[in-house]
Amino acid sequence: MTRVYVPNDWQHTATDAEAFGELVYLTRGPIRRNAIRANFAAVDKGLEGSKKTDWLVVGSLSVLTALCAASFAAKHGRLNLLLWDQGRYVPQKVSSV
């Protein structure tokens, strides 16, 4: 089954993204935006079982989303992003290939 990775589970619901697959939250609760190494470690670990066909929700703190995108792109050479636009998630794919 396709998974949808969500940067953080706190004060925002991503349940609308369930139409694209099973939700997997990479972090939970408030996070320290300056704890870059710790946040990257959590994100990288959470993405260990990800596949190149999975999705990444763009949301949460910008630095956390950037870490998620960097890790996903390093693992798969592409990004499958779900962008919130006009009340719904819109899929966008970016590949370096």
Per-residue pLDDT reduced to its tens digit, 39-70: 999 999 999 999 999 999 998 899 999 999 99
**Longest Cα separation, the chain:** 36
- For 21-83, the DSSP string reads SEEEES-BS---TT-HHHHHHHHHHHTTT--TT-EEE--S-HHHHHHHHHHHHHHHSEEEEEE
pLDDT at 84 over 90: yes
pLDDT confidence of residue 23:
96
Global pTM exceeds 0.75: yes
Q: Which neighbouring-strand residues pair with 88?
A: 85
